[in-house]
Amino acid sequence: MIETLLANELSNAVEALYGQQLSTDTFQIQKTRPEFEGDLTVVVFPLLRISRKAPEPTANEIGGYMVEHSAEVESFNVIKGFLNLLIADAYYLRFYHEKHADMAFGFQPEKDEPPVVIEYSSPNTNKPLHLGHIRNNLLGWSVAEILKANGKKVAKVNLVNDRGIHICKSMLAWQKWGKGKTPEGTGKKGDKLVGDYYVLFDKEYKKEVAKLIGQGMPKDEATHQAPLLLEAKAMLKKWETGDQEVRALWKKMNAWVYSGFDKTYARLGIDFDKTYYESDTYLLGKALVEEGLKKGVLFKKDDGSVWCDLKDEGLDEKLLLRGDGTSVYMTQDLGTAQLRYTDYKPQKLMYVVGNEQIYHFDVLKRILKKLGRNWADDILHLSYGMVELPEGKMKSREGKVVDADDLMEEMARTAKKTSDELGKFDDFTPEESRNLYEMIGLGALKYFMLKVDPKKTMMFNPAESIDFNGNTGPFIQYTHARIQSVLRKAKAEGLVFNEQKMPAFSLHKKEKALLKMLHNFPQVVQLAGDTFSPAQLANFSFELSKEYNQFYHELSILKEPDENKKFFRLGLSDFTARTLGSAMGLLGIRLPERM
């Protein structure tokens, strides 16, 4: 890319002018600020010890050398210690000629190296997916695709939390009050039906706690002695000992949930290469705990519970097995990590999990290290901020959540309402309209979720996400549709623009601005991969869309009298559309052919 070329030529300039060789990474090259003329700026201050001159004379000498000896540099100007270089049109025209028809532009071929295993979703089988899960799924899937675009082998995996006390709560509530209801009989998705009973358990449990407190029992004791909770704990114990009746109920209700999850994943466009289940991995975790006891790196308390002492590392003691022998989250995470390492021998084990679990993954790595698993250093917790609503945080056990299915349906309805008000799709068939509303609604949702830096907590407002003029998915989708409209008209006129010779004319400032943005796309893909941030691609897509719309409004395309310029602008439009498709495709967002 141009920065690499310039760094080499700057190295030659310094050697020719001042007699010293510098490595190319010595030079600080950055985009020129918009208020100054130029494309790229070289920071001269680090070179003054070699030139033994003031900043401006040094910059002028280097700039003059670059203009004379570099085919890429057309002119320069100096602002104090900053050398602003204007890149020649010929460089960008050559870039266009070489890359505009490259279907893999911006993407790297797959490298022959161990894979990156990335876990996302990780739902519980006691409730449907909600708004928080949507951010998790979209972030995990997008990061996986971005890593692939950077040449990484990737395994996308899911860990289903299908056992534990929370699962037993929904099972017990259905057993007590379900009256044999099924998804088929109620017409409800299975995950929603099971989730109803998880909420019902919490409601009845709170009644029992209040009653015990009313009878004089201290609150802390009441929360642990409520009969419903004791029954749920007893059910978990039966599950872990293999009780046939409990296991049969567990399999039946989980099957309902899996069927519901599959429908949600399909609509959201989420997939996995492999699914792990906590019910399989917790036993391996228990085996690792036993190994740790034998090695003396774990210890057992008088009540039979097993712990890891991390006080010498500035942390505290961590429970790994309860006194009754039942496992905790850390137990199964130990087992899952070991199983994934055995399955894949990965270069990285990535976990896409909210930032409230930072401590958990720190502890996981430390325990694995104590157990002699040096590959624990390859564990990476990709944490992200929570999704909040204007009315506050969500609470699953109280049923105060934004259901994922309901949200996707609302997004499609909002897309229809907004579009109808604008009269955009009056000539579409009903089926075309439905497909487009779905594409716009989900595009708006995904873009709104992914344009924010993953580490930031975000406020989700559906109404703001569907706007055909703002920093939104629909704006980018509309830009793509606009380009396709131009290309369809060109095709109807019999114009063939994909077999051009090397362009040979001066660029209009808007043509050059668009080429400069397209030229940056591979670097944006790389940066998104290095930082695990889809927001880099989302914001690039928005800026590219804005730039194209300015180009479209300022320059004639189909009515341009110069045939060479007309074909170039058509080709540039096509290049822009494909690059938008590549960038948004890495976010899981489809772009329509017409709107």
User: For a pLDDT cut of 70, what percent of the chain falls above it?
Assistant: 96
Instruction: Provide mean pLDDT across the span 324-328.
Output: 83
Instruction: Provide mean pLDDT across the span 166-174.
Output: 97
pLDDT > 50? residue 397: no
Strands 82-87 and 274-277 turn out to be unpaired
Per-residue pLDDT at 348: 97
Residues in the chain: 595
Instruction: Provide mean pLDDT across the span 438-448.
Output: 94
pLDDT > 90? residue 389: no
Instruction: Provide mean pLDDT across the span 302-314.
Output: 94
Judge whether 126 and 166 are in contact, CB under 8 Å.
yes
Instruction: Provide mean pLDDT across the span 100-113.
Output: 96
Instruction: Provide mean pLDDT across the span 494-520.
Output: 86
Per-residue pLDDT at 569: 95
pLDDT per position as a tens digit, 189-201? 999 999 999 999 9
pLDDT > 50? residue 399: no
**Confidence band of 391 (pLDDT split at 50, 70, 90):** low
Structural domains in the chain, sorted by start: 2-87 (3.30.1360.70), 120-398 (3.40.50.620), 404-585 (1.10.730.10)
Per-residue pLDDT at 192: 96
Report the range of poorest mean pLDDT among 18-27, 135-144, 162-171, 399-408.
399-408
Per-residue pLDDT at 352: 97
pLDDT per position as a tens digit, 238-273? 998 999 999 999 999 999 999 999 999 999 999 999
pLDDT per position as a tens digit, 563-576? 889 999 999 999 99
Q: Which residues pair with 349 in a beta bridge?
A: 117, 379
Strands 82-87 and 116-119 turn out to be unpaired
Q: Give the Cα separation of 323 and 305 in Å (integer).
A: 4
Q: What tokens were used for 175? A: 């057993």
Q: Give the Cα separation of 307 and 304 in Å (integer).
A: 10
pLDDT per position as a tens digit, 408-419? 998 998 888 877
Per-residue pLDDT at 499: 64
Report the range of poorest mean pLDDT among 53-57, 68-72, 109-113, 469-473.
469-473
Q: Give the Cα separation of 101 and 564 in Å (integer).
A: 17
- Provide the angle, in degrees to the nearest 10, between the axes of the packed helices 165-177 and 190-214: 90
Q: What tokens were used for 315? A: 């942390």
Could you give the 3-state DSSP secondary structure of residue 20? Answer: coil
Q: In the chain, what's the furthest Cα-to-Cα distance?
A: 92
Q: Give the Cα separation of 287 and 426 in Å (integer).
A: 64
**Confidence band of 398 (pLDDT split at 50, 70, 90):** very low
pLDDT > 50? residue 224: yes
Q: What tokens were used for 161? A: 């939390």
Instruction: Provide mean pLDDT across the span 378-389.
Output: 89
Taking the CB of residue 511, how many other CB atoms lie within 10 A of it? 23
| Among 140, 590, 195, 181, CA closest to 404 | 195
Torsion angle, alpha carbons of 429, 430, 432, 434, to 10? 160
Strands 299-300 and 306-309 turn out to be antiparallel
Q: Give the Cα separation of 120 and 129 in Å (integer).
A: 13
Per-residue pLDDT at 294: 95
Q: Give the Cα separation of 157 and 471 in Å (integer).
A: 31
Higher pLDDT, 579 or 396: 579
Judge whether 168 and 232 are in contact, CB under 8 Å.
yes
Secondary structure (DSSP) of 282-341: HHHHHHHHHHHHHHTSSEE-TTS-EEEE-GGGTS-EEEEE-TTS-B-HHHHHHHHHHHHH
Per-residue pLDDT at 375: 97
Q: Which residues pair with 299 in a beta bridge?
A: 307
Strands 116-119 and 154-160 turn out to be parallel
Per-residue pLDDT at 312: 92
**Confidence band of 429 (pLDDT split at 50, 70, 90):** confident
pLDDT > 70? residue 301: yes
**Where do the H-state alpha helices sit in 103-243?**
131-149, 165-177, 183-186, 190-214, 219-225, 227-240
Q: What tokens were used for 393? A: 């945080």
Taking the CB of residue 484, how many other CB atoms lie within 10 A of it? 18
Rounded to two decimals, what is the model's pTM?
0.91
Q: What tokens were used for 362? A: 């720190």
pLDDT per position as a tens digit, 52-96? 999 999 999 999 999 999 999 999 999 988 999 999 999 999 999
**Confidence band of 546 (pLDDT split at 50, 70, 90):** very high
Q: Which residues have a Cβ under 8 Å from the Cβ of 448 and sit 6 or more positions away?
A: 460, 464, 465, 472, 473
Higher pLDDT, 136 or 396: 136
| Among 123, 126, 122, CA closest to 197 | 126
pLDDT > 80? residue 498: no
Q: Which residues pair with 300 in a beta bridge?
A: 306
Instruction: Provide mean pLDDT across the span 16-27.
Output: 91
pLDDT > 70? residue 305: yes
> Which 3-state string (H, E, C) describes 25-67?
HHCCEEECCCCCCCCEEEECHHHHHHHCCCHHHHHHHHHHHHH
Judge whether 332 and 274 are in contact, CB under 8 Å.
no
The per-residue pLDDT of the chain, averaged, comes to 92
Instruction: Provide mean pLDDT across the span 355-383.
Output: 95
Per-residue pLDDT at 525: 98
Strands 73-79 and 274-277 turn out to be unpaired
Could you give the 3-state DSSP secondary structure of residue 490? Answer: helix
